[in-house]
Protein backbone atom coordinates (compact mmCIF):
# COMPACT_ATOMS: atom_id res chain seq x y z
CA UNK A 1 0.00 0.00 0.00
CA UNK A 2 2.75 2.59 0.85
CA UNK A 3 4.58 1.74 -2.39
CA UNK A 4 1.37 2.34 -4.34
CA UNK A 5 0.92 5.70 -2.63
CA UNK A 6 4.52 6.63 -3.36
CA UNK A 7 4.11 5.64 -7.01
CA UNK A 8 0.93 7.71 -7.30
CA UNK A 9 2.57 10.73 -5.66
CA UNK A 10 5.77 10.54 -7.72
CA UNK A 11 4.22 11.60 -11.08
CA UNK A 12 2.40 14.52 -9.43
CA UNK A 13 5.63 15.61 -7.74
CA UNK A 14 7.55 15.37 -11.02
CA UNK A 15 4.77 17.20 -12.82
CA UNK A 16 4.81 20.04 -10.28
CA UNK A 17 8.61 20.08 -10.41
CA UNK A 18 8.65 20.33 -14.21
CA UNK A 19 6.09 23.13 -14.20
CA UNK A 20 7.84 24.96 -11.37
CA UNK A 21 8.91 28.51 -12.19
CA UNK A 22 12.28 27.95 -10.47
CA UNK A 23 13.03 24.87 -12.61
CA UNK A 24 11.96 26.68 -15.77
CA UNK A 25 14.33 29.51 -14.94
CA UNK A 26 17.12 27.28 -13.64
CA UNK A 27 17.35 24.88 -16.59
CA UNK A 28 17.86 27.56 -19.33
CA UNK A 29 20.33 29.41 -17.12
CA UNK A 30 22.18 26.18 -16.27
CA UNK A 31 22.29 25.09 -19.93
CA UNK A 32 23.46 28.55 -21.03
CA UNK A 33 26.18 28.67 -18.40
CA UNK A 34 27.23 25.09 -19.21
CA UNK A 35 27.46 25.77 -22.93
CA UNK A 36 29.33 29.02 -22.30
CA UNK A 37 31.84 27.38 -19.96
CA UNK A 38 32.24 24.42 -22.32
CA UNK A 39 32.95 26.70 -25.29
CA UNK A 40 35.34 28.70 -23.15
CA UNK A 41 37.10 25.47 -22.07
CA UNK A 42 37.39 24.25 -25.68
CA UNK A 43 38.79 27.56 -26.85
CA UNK A 44 41.19 27.69 -23.92
CA UNK A 45 42.33 24.09 -24.54
CA UNK A 46 42.84 24.74 -28.23
CA UNK A 47 44.81 27.89 -27.43
CA UNK A 48 46.89 25.98 -24.88
CA UNK A 49 47.51 23.18 -27.39
CA UNK A 50 48.63 25.64 -30.05
CA UNK A 51 50.86 27.37 -27.51
CA UNK A 52 52.46 24.05 -26.51
CA UNK A 53 52.93 23.15 -30.19
CA UNK A 54 54.59 26.49 -30.82
CA UNK A 55 56.92 25.81 -27.90
CA UNK A 56 57.75 22.34 -29.27
CA UNK A 57 58.37 23.80 -32.73
CA UNK A 58 60.64 26.39 -31.21
CA UNK A 59 62.43 23.63 -29.31
CA UNK A 60 62.95 21.50 -32.39
CA UNK A 61 64.26 24.55 -34.27
CA UNK A 62 66.55 25.18 -31.36
CA UNK A 63 67.71 21.55 -31.40
CA UNK A 64 68.40 21.75 -35.16
CA UNK A 65 70.50 24.86 -34.63
CA UNK A 66 72.38 23.20 -31.77
CA UNK A 67 73.06 20.10 -33.86
CA UNK A 68 74.43 22.25 -36.68
CA UNK A 69 76.65 24.11 -34.25
CA UNK A 70 77.81 20.91 -32.57
CA UNK A 71 78.77 19.29 -35.87
CA UNK A 72 80.15 22.41 -37.56
CA UNK A 73 83.77 21.83 -36.57
CA UNK A 74 83.61 18.21 -37.63
CA UNK A 75 82.07 19.23 -40.93
CA UNK A 76 84.83 21.83 -41.56
CA UNK A 77 87.48 19.20 -40.85
CA UNK A 78 85.53 16.66 -42.93
CA UNK A 79 85.70 14.30 -39.93
CA UNK A 80 82.68 12.12 -40.56
CA UNK A 81 83.42 9.82 -37.61
CA UNK A 82 83.44 12.73 -35.20
CA UNK A 83 80.23 14.14 -36.69
CA UNK A 84 78.57 10.68 -36.49
CA UNK A 85 79.64 10.27 -32.90
CA UNK A 86 78.26 13.70 -32.02
CA UNK A 87 74.93 12.90 -33.68
CA UNK A 88 74.70 9.58 -31.83
CA UNK A 89 75.38 11.26 -28.49
CA UNK A 90 72.76 13.88 -29.20
CA UNK A 91 70.26 11.19 -30.25
CA UNK A 92 70.63 9.34 -26.95
CA UNK A 93 68.60 11.94 -25.09
CA UNK A 94 64.85 11.51 -24.56
CA UNK A 95 64.05 14.80 -26.23
CA UNK A 96 64.84 13.64 -29.78
CA UNK A 97 63.71 10.39 -31.35
CA UNK A 98 66.13 10.48 -34.29
CA UNK A 99 68.64 12.66 -36.19
CA UNK A 100 69.45 12.10 -39.84
CA UNK A 101 71.60 13.80 -42.47
CA UNK A 102 70.71 13.28 -46.14
CA UNK A 103 72.74 14.16 -49.22
CA UNK A 104 71.13 15.76 -52.15
CA UNK A 105 70.29 12.35 -53.65
CA UNK A 106 68.32 11.20 -50.59
CA UNK A 107 70.91 8.89 -49.17
CA UNK A 108 71.27 8.77 -45.41
CA UNK A 109 74.83 9.83 -44.73
CA UNK A 110 74.64 10.04 -40.93
CA UNK A 111 72.05 9.00 -38.33
CA UNK A 112 71.61 8.62 -34.62
CA UNK A 113 70.89 5.00 -35.43
CA UNK A 114 73.80 3.43 -37.32
CA UNK A 115 71.56 0.82 -38.97
CA UNK A 116 69.93 3.65 -40.92
CA UNK A 117 73.18 4.86 -42.53
CA UNK A 118 73.21 4.20 -46.27
CA UNK A 119 69.45 3.98 -46.60
CA UNK A 120 68.19 5.53 -49.79
CA UNK A 121 65.11 7.70 -49.66
CA UNK A 122 62.69 7.88 -52.55
CA UNK A 123 63.00 11.34 -54.08
CA UNK A 124 59.24 11.36 -54.64
CA UNK A 125 58.50 10.66 -50.98
CA UNK A 126 56.98 13.25 -48.70
CA UNK A 127 60.31 14.00 -47.07
CA UNK A 128 62.21 14.55 -50.33
CA UNK A 129 59.38 16.34 -52.17
CA UNK A 130 59.27 19.03 -49.54
CA UNK A 131 62.53 20.60 -50.73
CA UNK A 132 63.68 18.68 -53.77
CA UNK A 133 62.70 19.52 -57.34
CA UNK A 134 62.70 17.19 -60.31
CA UNK A 135 65.46 19.10 -62.07
CA UNK A 136 68.26 17.31 -60.22
CA UNK A 137 70.59 18.30 -57.49
CA UNK A 138 71.48 21.56 -59.02
CA UNK A 139 67.86 22.55 -58.97
CA UNK A 140 67.40 21.82 -55.27
CA UNK A 141 65.86 24.72 -53.46
CA UNK A 142 66.79 25.33 -49.82
CA UNK A 143 63.54 25.03 -47.87
CA UNK A 144 62.78 24.43 -44.22
CA UNK A 145 59.59 22.77 -43.04
CA UNK A 146 58.12 21.31 -39.90
CA UNK A 147 55.35 18.75 -39.98
CA UNK A 148 53.62 16.20 -37.78
CA UNK A 149 53.93 12.61 -38.92
CA UNK A 150 53.24 9.13 -37.52
CA UNK A 151 56.18 6.81 -37.62
CA UNK A 152 55.46 3.13 -38.29
CA UNK A 153 51.93 3.58 -36.98
CA UNK A 154 53.27 3.84 -33.47
CA UNK A 155 53.74 7.36 -32.30
CA UNK A 156 53.37 10.81 -33.63
CA UNK A 157 56.52 12.88 -34.09
CA UNK A 158 57.31 16.40 -35.07
CA UNK A 159 59.66 16.37 -38.01
CA UNK A 160 61.87 19.33 -38.77
CA UNK A 161 63.72 19.55 -42.09
CA UNK A 162 66.48 22.14 -42.49
CA UNK A 163 69.11 22.55 -45.20
CA UNK A 164 72.84 22.37 -44.63
CA UNK A 165 74.18 25.27 -46.62
CA UNK A 166 77.61 25.46 -48.20
CA UNK A 167 78.96 28.39 -46.24
CA UNK A 168 82.02 30.33 -47.49
CA UNK A 169 84.02 29.11 -44.53
CA UNK A 170 83.14 25.60 -45.54
CA UNK A 171 83.75 25.88 -49.26
CA UNK A 172 87.16 27.55 -48.84
CA UNK A 173 88.47 24.93 -46.41
CA UNK A 174 91.43 22.96 -47.71
CA UNK A 175 89.72 19.65 -46.86
CA UNK A 176 86.39 20.44 -48.29
CA UNK A 177 85.42 18.49 -51.34
CA UNK A 178 82.43 20.51 -52.48
CA UNK A 179 82.79 23.38 -54.94
CA UNK A 180 81.71 26.86 -53.94
CA UNK A 181 78.95 26.87 -56.58
CA UNK A 182 77.05 24.19 -54.68
CA UNK A 183 74.71 26.08 -52.38
CA UNK A 184 73.29 23.12 -50.42
CA UNK A 185 75.34 20.33 -48.99
CA UNK A 186 72.48 18.22 -47.57
CA UNK A 187 69.34 18.02 -45.42
CA UNK A 188 69.26 17.73 -41.63
CA UNK A 189 66.21 15.86 -40.35
CA UNK A 190 65.35 16.06 -36.68
CA UNK A 191 62.36 14.18 -35.25
CA UNK A 192 60.98 14.89 -31.81
CA UNK A 193 58.48 12.51 -30.16
CA UNK A 194 55.09 14.06 -29.44
CA UNK A 195 54.26 11.50 -26.76
CA UNK A 196 55.29 13.77 -23.85
CA UNK A 197 53.31 16.62 -25.40
CA UNK A 198 50.29 14.37 -25.91
CA UNK A 199 50.48 13.23 -22.30
CA UNK A 200 50.74 16.82 -21.17
CA UNK A 201 47.80 17.80 -23.39
CA UNK A 202 45.70 14.90 -22.10
CA UNK A 203 46.45 15.93 -18.53
CA UNK A 204 45.59 19.50 -19.41
CA UNK A 205 42.41 18.33 -21.14
CA UNK A 206 41.32 16.38 -18.08
CA UNK A 207 42.05 19.38 -15.92
CA UNK A 208 39.99 21.60 -18.22
CA UNK A 209 37.18 19.05 -18.18
CA UNK A 210 37.04 18.74 -14.40
CA UNK A 211 37.49 22.46 -13.94
CA UNK A 212 34.62 23.10 -16.38
CA UNK A 213 32.38 20.58 -14.66
CA UNK A 214 33.26 22.04 -11.27
CA UNK A 215 32.55 25.57 -12.47
CA UNK A 216 29.27 24.43 -14.05
CA UNK A 217 28.27 22.78 -10.77
CA UNK A 218 29.28 25.82 -8.69
CA UNK A 219 27.55 28.26 -11.03
CA UNK A 220 24.49 25.99 -11.13
CA UNK A 221 24.29 25.86 -7.34
CA UNK A 222 24.77 29.63 -7.06
CA UNK A 223 22.17 30.25 -9.75
CA UNK A 224 19.79 27.80 -8.07
CA UNK A 225 20.24 29.53 -4.70
CA UNK A 226 19.67 32.97 -6.22
CA UNK A 227 16.67 31.80 -8.26
CA UNK A 228 15.15 30.19 -5.18
CA UNK A 229 15.86 33.19 -2.95
CA UNK A 230 15.05 36.00 -5.37
CA UNK A 231 12.34 34.40 -7.52
CA UNK A 232 10.87 31.13 -6.30
CA UNK A 233 10.50 32.00 -2.61
CA UNK A 234 8.78 35.40 -3.23
CA UNK A 235 6.56 33.82 -5.88
CA UNK A 236 5.58 30.97 -3.55
CA UNK A 237 4.84 33.49 -0.78
CA UNK A 238 2.62 35.44 -3.16
CA UNK A 239 0.97 32.19 -4.28
CA UNK A 240 0.31 31.03 -0.70
CA UNK A 241 -0.94 34.52 0.19
CA UNK A 242 -3.30 34.47 -2.80
CA UNK A 243 -4.70 31.09 -1.72
CA UNK A 244 -5.27 32.41 1.81
CA UNK A 245 -6.95 35.55 0.44
CA UNK A 246 -9.16 33.36 -1.77
CA UNK A 247 -10.04 31.29 1.33
CA UNK A 248 -11.20 34.46 3.08
CA UNK A 249 -8.18 35.20 5.30
CA UNK A 250 -7.92 38.85 4.30
CA UNK A 251 -5.52 39.64 7.14
CA UNK A 252 -2.77 37.75 5.24
CA UNK A 253 0.29 39.84 4.39
CA UNK A 254 3.49 39.09 2.43
CA UNK A 255 6.79 40.50 3.66
CA UNK A 256 8.44 42.51 0.84
CA UNK A 257 12.20 42.01 0.63
CA UNK A 258 14.33 44.28 -1.50
CA UNK A 259 13.39 46.88 -4.07
CA UNK A 260 12.98 44.69 -7.15
CA UNK A 261 9.81 44.01 -9.10
CA UNK A 262 8.70 41.09 -6.90
CA UNK A 263 9.11 43.26 -3.79
CA UNK A 264 6.95 45.95 -5.39
CA UNK A 265 4.48 43.22 -6.33
CA UNK A 266 4.41 42.11 -2.66
CA UNK A 267 3.71 45.72 -1.61
CA UNK A 268 0.89 45.90 -4.15
CA UNK A 269 -0.42 42.54 -2.89
CA UNK A 270 -0.49 43.81 0.70
CA UNK A 271 -2.29 46.96 -0.42
CA UNK A 272 -4.82 44.85 -2.31
CA UNK A 273 -5.35 42.63 0.75
CA UNK A 274 -5.80 45.71 2.96
CA UNK A 275 -8.30 47.21 0.49
CA UNK A 276 -10.21 43.92 0.31
CA UNK A 277 -10.25 43.67 4.11
CA UNK A 278 -11.51 47.25 4.42
CA UNK A 279 -14.11 46.61 1.71
CA UNK A 280 -15.34 43.45 3.41
CA UNK A 281 -15.44 45.24 6.76
CA UNK A 282 -17.43 48.04 5.16
CA UNK A 283 -19.77 45.59 3.45
CA UNK A 284 -20.25 43.71 6.73
CA UNK A 285 -20.96 46.94 8.59
CA UNK A 286 -23.34 48.06 5.87
CA UNK A 287 -25.03 44.65 5.95
CA UNK A 288 -25.43 44.81 9.72
CA UNK A 289 -26.60 48.41 9.47
CA UNK A 290 -29.02 47.44 6.72
CA UNK A 291 -30.34 44.55 8.80
CA UNK A 292 -30.81 46.89 11.76
CA UNK A 293 -32.53 49.42 9.52
CA UNK A 294 -34.75 46.71 8.04
CA UNK A 295 -35.68 45.50 11.52
CA UNK A 296 -36.25 49.08 12.67
CA UNK A 297 -38.34 49.96 9.62
CA UNK A 298 -40.24 46.69 9.93
CA UNK A 299 -41.07 47.51 13.53
CA UNK A 300 -42.05 51.05 12.53
CA UNK A 301 -44.27 49.72 9.73
CA UNK A 302 -45.82 47.18 12.08
CA UNK A 303 -46.38 49.84 14.71
CA UNK A 304 -47.82 52.21 12.10
CA UNK A 305 -50.03 49.44 10.79
CA UNK A 306 -51.26 48.69 14.30
CA UNK A 307 -51.87 52.40 14.86
CA UNK A 308 -53.77 52.70 11.58
CA UNK A 309 -55.90 49.67 12.42
CA UNK A 310 -56.46 51.02 15.91
CA UNK A 311 -57.38 54.46 14.54
CA UNK A 312 -59.80 52.89 12.08
CA UNK A 313 -61.30 50.81 14.84
CA UNK A 314 -61.51 53.82 17.13
CA UNK A 315 -63.04 55.92 14.36
CA UNK A 316 -65.72 53.30 13.75
CA UNK A 317 -66.33 52.95 17.46
CA UNK A 318 -66.43 56.75 17.79
CA UNK A 319 -69.10 57.06 15.13
CA UNK A 320 -71.10 54.28 16.73
CA UNK A 321 -70.62 55.82 20.17
CA UNK A 322 -71.81 59.23 18.91
CA UNK A 323 -74.94 57.68 17.47
CA UNK A 324 -75.65 55.62 20.60
CA UNK A 325 -74.97 58.60 22.90
CA UNK A 326 -77.26 60.82 20.86
CA UNK A 327 -80.05 58.24 20.85
CA UNK A 328 -79.70 57.50 24.58
CA UNK A 329 -79.44 61.11 25.66
CA UNK A 330 -83.14 62.05 25.30
CA UNK A 331 -84.63 58.86 26.87
CA UNK A 332 -82.30 59.10 29.87
CA UNK A 333 -83.20 62.77 30.36
CA UNK A 334 -86.91 61.91 30.24
CA UNK A 335 -86.48 59.03 32.69
CA UNK A 336 -84.63 61.24 35.15
CA UNK A 337 -87.23 64.01 34.81
CA UNK A 338 -90.17 61.64 35.34
CA UNK A 339 -88.42 60.04 38.32
CA UNK A 340 -88.22 63.47 39.96
CA UNK A 341 -91.88 64.19 39.15
CA UNK A 342 -92.91 60.88 40.68
CA UNK A 343 -90.90 61.71 43.82
CA UNK A 344 -92.77 65.05 44.04
CA UNK A 345 -96.18 63.36 43.59
CA UNK A 346 -95.39 60.84 46.28
CA UNK A 347 -95.31 63.59 48.82
CA UNK A 348 -98.94 64.48 48.00
CA UNK A 349 -100.31 60.93 48.03
CA UNK A 350 -101.99 59.38 51.13
CA UNK A 351 -99.43 56.60 51.63
CA UNK A 352 -98.04 55.06 54.69
CA UNK A 353 -94.54 56.01 55.69
CA UNK A 354 -93.17 52.52 54.96
CA UNK A 355 -94.59 52.47 51.45
CA UNK A 356 -93.50 56.05 50.78
CA UNK A 357 -89.97 55.27 52.05
CA UNK A 358 -89.77 52.14 49.93
CA UNK A 359 -90.94 53.95 46.80
CA UNK A 360 -88.48 56.83 47.42
CA UNK A 361 -85.69 54.30 47.76
CA UNK A 362 -86.63 52.86 44.36
CA UNK A 363 -86.75 56.36 42.84
CA UNK A 364 -83.33 57.24 44.31
CA UNK A 365 -81.85 54.09 42.81
CA UNK A 366 -83.46 54.97 39.46
CA UNK A 367 -82.05 58.53 39.60
CA UNK A 368 -78.61 57.22 40.52
CA UNK A 369 -78.53 54.76 37.64
CA UNK A 370 -79.86 57.42 35.24
CA UNK A 371 -77.10 59.79 36.40
CA UNK A 372 -74.56 56.99 35.94
CA UNK A 373 -75.85 56.35 32.44
CA UNK A 374 -75.70 60.10 31.81
CA UNK A 375 -72.03 60.16 32.78
CA UNK A 376 -71.38 57.27 30.41
CA UNK A 377 -73.15 59.13 27.61
CA UNK A 378 -71.13 62.26 28.35
CA UNK A 379 -67.91 60.20 28.04
CA UNK A 380 -69.21 58.67 24.86
CA UNK A 381 -69.87 62.10 23.42
CA UNK A 382 -66.41 63.27 24.41
CA UNK A 383 -64.78 60.14 22.96
CA UNK A 384 -66.76 60.54 19.76
CA UNK A 385 -65.49 64.15 19.42
CA UNK A 386 -68.96 65.57 19.77
CA UNK A 387 -67.25 68.59 21.29
CA UNK A 388 -64.29 70.10 19.41
CA UNK A 389 -61.00 71.04 21.02
CA UNK A 390 -60.55 74.80 21.44
CA UNK A 391 -56.79 75.35 20.93
CA UNK A 392 -55.07 78.24 22.72
CA UNK A 393 -51.72 79.08 24.22
CA UNK A 394 -51.58 77.17 27.48
CA UNK A 395 -49.06 76.82 30.29
CA UNK A 396 -48.49 73.06 30.55
CA UNK A 397 -47.02 73.33 34.06
CA UNK A 398 -50.26 74.93 35.32
CA UNK A 399 -52.37 72.25 33.63
CA UNK A 400 -50.33 69.49 35.35
CA UNK A 401 -50.48 71.26 38.73
CA UNK A 402 -54.26 71.63 38.47
CA UNK A 403 -54.71 67.95 37.54
CA UNK A 404 -52.49 66.87 40.45
CA UNK A 405 -54.44 69.11 42.82
CA UNK A 406 -57.68 67.34 41.83
CA UNK A 407 -56.26 63.89 42.75
CA UNK A 408 -54.03 64.93 45.68
CA UNK A 409 -56.75 63.90 48.16
CA UNK A 410 -56.85 60.39 46.63
CA UNK A 411 -53.04 60.17 46.88
CA UNK A 412 -53.08 61.10 50.55
CA UNK A 413 -55.84 58.62 51.42
CA UNK A 414 -54.07 55.80 49.54
CA UNK A 415 -50.63 56.60 51.04
CA UNK A 416 -49.03 57.19 47.61
CA UNK A 417 -46.01 59.45 47.32
CA UNK A 418 -45.84 61.95 44.46
CA UNK A 419 -42.75 62.92 42.49
CA UNK A 420 -43.12 65.49 39.72
CA UNK A 421 -40.66 67.26 37.43
CA UNK A 422 -42.03 70.21 35.48
CA UNK A 423 -40.61 72.09 32.50
CA UNK A 424 -37.91 74.55 33.57
CA UNK A 425 -37.75 76.71 30.45
CA UNK A 426 -40.53 77.29 27.95
CA UNK A 427 -43.70 75.60 29.28
CA UNK A 428 -46.22 77.08 26.83
CA UNK A 429 -47.97 74.96 24.20
CA UNK A 430 -50.99 75.37 21.95
CA UNK A 431 -53.67 73.02 23.35
CA UNK A 432 -57.11 72.70 24.89
CA UNK A 433 -56.31 73.09 28.60
CA UNK A 434 -59.56 71.54 29.88
CA UNK A 435 -59.21 68.43 27.73
CA UNK A 436 -55.54 67.96 28.66
CA UNK A 437 -56.46 68.34 32.32
CA UNK A 438 -59.23 65.76 31.89
CA UNK A 439 -56.79 63.31 30.21
CA UNK A 440 -54.16 63.79 32.92
CA UNK A 441 -56.72 63.33 35.72
CA UNK A 442 -57.88 60.12 34.07
CA UNK A 443 -54.28 58.84 33.93
CA UNK A 444 -53.62 59.85 37.56
CA UNK A 445 -56.82 58.16 38.79
CA UNK A 446 -56.00 55.05 36.78
CA UNK A 447 -52.53 54.95 38.42
CA UNK A 448 -54.01 55.37 41.91
CA UNK A 449 -56.46 52.50 41.27
CA UNK A 450 -53.57 50.32 39.99
CA UNK A 451 -51.72 50.86 43.31
CA UNK A 452 -54.79 50.32 45.51
CA UNK A 453 -54.05 48.16 48.54
CA UNK A 454 -50.27 48.57 48.25
CA UNK A 455 -47.99 50.18 50.75
CA UNK A 456 -45.31 52.54 49.58
CA UNK A 457 -46.78 53.21 46.15
CA UNK A 458 -45.29 56.03 44.08
CA UNK A 459 -46.67 58.22 41.31
CA UNK A 460 -44.12 59.96 39.08
CA UNK A 461 -44.89 62.75 36.62
CA UNK A 462 -41.97 63.94 34.48
CA UNK A 463 -42.12 66.67 31.86
CA UNK A 464 -39.41 67.39 29.31
CA UNK A 465 -39.43 69.15 25.98
CA UNK A 466 -37.72 70.36 22.87
CA UNK A 467 -38.36 73.33 20.66
CA UNK A 468 -41.02 71.36 18.75
CA UNK A 469 -42.46 68.81 21.20
CA UNK A 470 -43.19 68.16 24.86
CA UNK A 471 -43.11 64.78 26.59
CA UNK A 472 -45.21 63.76 29.61
CA UNK A 473 -44.34 60.50 31.43
CA UNK A 474 -46.88 59.24 34.01
CA UNK A 475 -45.61 56.24 35.96
CA UNK A 476 -46.84 54.13 38.85
CA UNK A 477 -45.57 51.18 40.86
CA UNK A 478 -48.79 49.22 40.59
CA UNK A 479 -49.61 45.68 39.51
CA UNK A 480 -48.70 46.28 35.86
CA UNK A 481 -50.55 45.37 32.70
CA UNK A 482 -50.28 41.85 31.19
CA UNK A 483 -48.67 41.75 27.70
CA UNK A 484 -51.79 40.23 26.14
CA UNK A 485 -53.87 43.15 27.46
CA UNK A 486 -51.57 46.00 26.31
CA UNK A 487 -52.82 46.12 22.67
CA UNK A 488 -56.44 46.63 23.86
CA UNK A 489 -56.22 49.12 26.74
CA UNK A 490 -57.17 52.12 24.58
CA UNK A 491 -60.23 50.39 23.11
CA UNK A 492 -63.66 51.62 24.34
CA UNK A 493 -65.50 49.42 26.89
CA UNK A 494 -62.37 47.34 27.50
CA UNK A 495 -61.58 47.17 31.20
CA UNK A 496 -59.81 44.87 33.63
CA UNK A 497 -61.92 46.18 36.52
CA UNK A 498 -65.23 44.79 37.65
CA UNK A 499 -68.40 46.05 36.04
CA UNK A 500 -69.37 48.12 39.06
CA UNK A 501 -66.17 50.20 39.13
CA UNK A 502 -65.79 51.11 35.47
CA UNK A 503 -67.02 50.73 31.91
CA UNK A 504 -63.68 51.01 30.11
CA UNK A 505 -63.95 54.49 28.63
CA UNK A 506 -61.24 56.34 30.61
CA UNK A 507 -58.16 55.40 28.56
CA UNK A 508 -60.17 55.54 25.34
CA UNK A 509 -61.04 59.17 26.15
CA UNK A 510 -57.36 59.89 26.93
CA UNK A 511 -56.37 58.35 23.60
CA UNK A 512 -58.93 60.49 21.76
CA UNK A 513 -57.77 63.72 23.45
CA UNK A 514 -54.09 63.01 22.66
CA UNK A 515 -54.88 62.19 19.02
CA UNK A 516 -57.07 65.30 18.80
CA UNK A 517 -53.98 67.33 19.73
CA UNK A 518 -51.88 65.62 17.01
CA UNK A 519 -49.85 63.66 19.58
CA UNK A 520 -49.09 60.06 20.42
CA UNK A 521 -49.51 57.93 23.53
CA UNK A 522 -47.66 54.71 24.34
CA UNK A 523 -47.53 52.46 27.39
CA UNK A 524 -44.64 50.52 28.92
CA UNK A 525 -45.42 48.00 31.65
CA UNK A 526 -43.84 45.21 33.70
CA UNK A 527 -46.03 42.84 35.66
CA UNK A 528 -45.81 43.50 39.41
CA UNK A 529 -43.31 46.37 39.02
CA UNK A 530 -44.41 49.46 37.16
CA UNK A 531 -46.41 51.03 34.34
CA UNK A 532 -45.45 54.21 32.46
CA UNK A 533 -47.63 56.13 29.99
CA UNK A 534 -45.58 58.19 27.51
CA UNK A 535 -47.41 61.18 26.00
CA UNK A 536 -45.86 63.19 23.16
CA UNK A 537 -47.58 66.45 22.19
CA UNK A 538 -46.59 69.05 19.59
CA UNK A 539 -45.96 72.53 20.93
CA UNK A 540 -47.94 74.15 18.10
CA UNK A 541 -51.01 72.06 17.44
CA UNK A 542 -53.49 73.29 14.81
CA UNK A 543 -56.26 75.30 16.50
CA UNK A 544 -59.60 73.82 15.47
CA UNK A 545 -63.10 74.12 16.83
CA UNK A 546 -65.56 71.49 15.75
CA UNK A 547 -69.27 72.07 15.87
CA UNK A 548 -71.17 69.97 18.30
CA UNK A 549 -73.21 67.40 16.45
CA UNK A 550 -75.77 67.22 19.13
CA UNK A 551 -77.78 70.10 20.55
CA UNK A 552 -76.50 71.31 23.90
CA UNK A 553 -80.04 71.17 25.27
CA UNK A 554 -79.74 67.41 25.11
CA UNK A 555 -77.05 67.32 27.79
CA UNK A 556 -78.04 65.52 30.95
CA UNK A 557 -78.33 67.33 34.25
CA UNK A 558 -76.45 65.86 37.13
CA UNK A 559 -78.35 64.20 39.89
Give me the pLDDT at residue 469, please: 93
Edge-to-edge, what's the strand order for the sheet holding 469-476? Answer: 417-421, 458-465, 469-476, 530-538, 520-526
How far apart are the C-alpha atoms of 427 and 429, rounded to whole Å? 7
CA 329, chain centre distance (Å):
78
167 belongs to a structural domain: yes
Percent of the chain with pLDDT over 90: 9
Which residue stretches of 21-95 are H helix?
21-76, 80-91
For residue 353, is pLDDT > 70?
Answer: yes
Lowest mean pLDDT among 35-44, 137-146, 475-484: 137-146
Give me the pLDDT at residue 533, please: 94
- Residue 154: which of 100, 98, 202, 108 has the closest Cα? 98
For residue 279, is pLDDT > 70?
Answer: yes
Give me the pLDDT at residue 140, please: 44
Q: What is the mean pLDDT of residues 33-46?
A: 83
Give me the pLDDT at residue 347, please: 74
Give me the pLDDT at residue 532, please: 93
pLDDT top residue among 312 and 552: 312
For residue 146, is pLDDT > 60?
Answer: no
Give me the pLDDT at residue 122, please: 73
pLDDT top residue among 106 and 181: 106
Question: What is the CATH number for 409?
Answer: 3.30.565.10
pLDDT top residue among 236 and 535: 535
pLDDT top residue among 408 and 75: 408
Give me the pLDDT at residue 473, please: 95
151 belongs to a structural domain: yes
For residue 554, is pLDDT > 50?
Answer: no
Residues in the chain, total: 559
For residue 5, is pLDDT > 80?
Answer: no
pLDDT top residue among 485 and 506: 485
- Per-residue three-class SS string for 48-64: HHHHHHHHHHHHHHHHH
- Per-residue three-class SS string for 318-338: HHHHHHHHHHHHHHHHHHHHH
Domain edge (last residue) among 158, 178, 200: 200
pLDDT top residue among 525 and 495: 525
Integer CA distances (angstroms), 253 to 272, 436, 478, in order? 10, 67, 62
pTM greater than 0.85 = no
Residue-range definition of the domain harbouring residue 396: 389-543
For residue 144, the tally of other CB atoms under 10 A from its CB is 14
300 belongs to a structural domain: no
Domain total of the chain: 2
For residue 551, the tally of other CB atoms under 10 A from its CB is 9
- Category of 243 on φ-ψ map: left (φ > 0), alpha (ψ -120 to 50) or beta: alpha
Q: pLDDT by residue (tens digit) across 379-432?
A: 666 655 545 567 889 999 999 999 998 888 888 888 899 999 999 888 899 998
Give me the pLDDT at residue 399, please: 92
Q: What is the mean pLDDT of residues 207-220?
A: 84
Q: pLDDT by residue (tens digit) across 427-461?
A: 899 998 888 998 998 899 888 888 887 777 899 99
527 belongs to a structural domain: yes
Question: What is the CATH number for 174?
Answer: 3.30.450.20
Q: pLDDT by residue (tens digit) across 501-548?
A: 454 567 888 888 888 888 999 999 888 888 999 999 999 876 444 433
506 belongs to a structural domain: yes
SS3 558: coil
- Category of 148 on φ-ψ map: left (φ > 0), alpha (ψ -120 to 50) or beta: beta
89 belongs to a structural domain: yes
Give me the pLDDT at residue 232, please: 72
| 8 Å CB contact between 545 and 390 | yes
379 belongs to a structural domain: no
Give me the pLDDT at residue 471, please: 95
Integer CA distances (angstroms), 107 to 117, 159, 166, 218, 418, in order? 8, 18, 18, 60, 159
Residue 230: which pLDDT band, with cuts at 50, 70 and 90? confident
452 belongs to a structural domain: yes
Residue 558: which pLDDT band, with cuts at 50, 70 and 90? very low
For residue 220, the tally of other CB atoms under 10 A from its CB is 17
For residue 108, is pLDDT > 60?
Answer: yes
Half-sphere exposure of 473 (CA within 13 A, CB side): 16
Amino acid sequence: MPQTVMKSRLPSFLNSLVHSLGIRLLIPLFVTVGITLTIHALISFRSTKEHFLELVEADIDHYGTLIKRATRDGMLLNSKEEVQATIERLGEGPELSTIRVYNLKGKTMMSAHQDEIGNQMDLDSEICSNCHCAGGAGATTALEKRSLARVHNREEVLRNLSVIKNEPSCSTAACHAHPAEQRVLGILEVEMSMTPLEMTLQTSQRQFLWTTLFLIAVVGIVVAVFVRRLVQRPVMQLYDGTLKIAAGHLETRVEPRGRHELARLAVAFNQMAADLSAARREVTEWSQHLEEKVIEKTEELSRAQRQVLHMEKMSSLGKLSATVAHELNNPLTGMLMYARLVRRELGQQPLTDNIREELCRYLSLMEKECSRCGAIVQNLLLFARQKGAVMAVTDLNEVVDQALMLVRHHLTISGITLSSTLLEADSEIVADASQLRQALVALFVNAVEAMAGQEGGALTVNLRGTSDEVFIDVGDTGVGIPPEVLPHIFEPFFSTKDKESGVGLGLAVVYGIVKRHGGQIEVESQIGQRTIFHLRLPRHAVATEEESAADTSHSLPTA
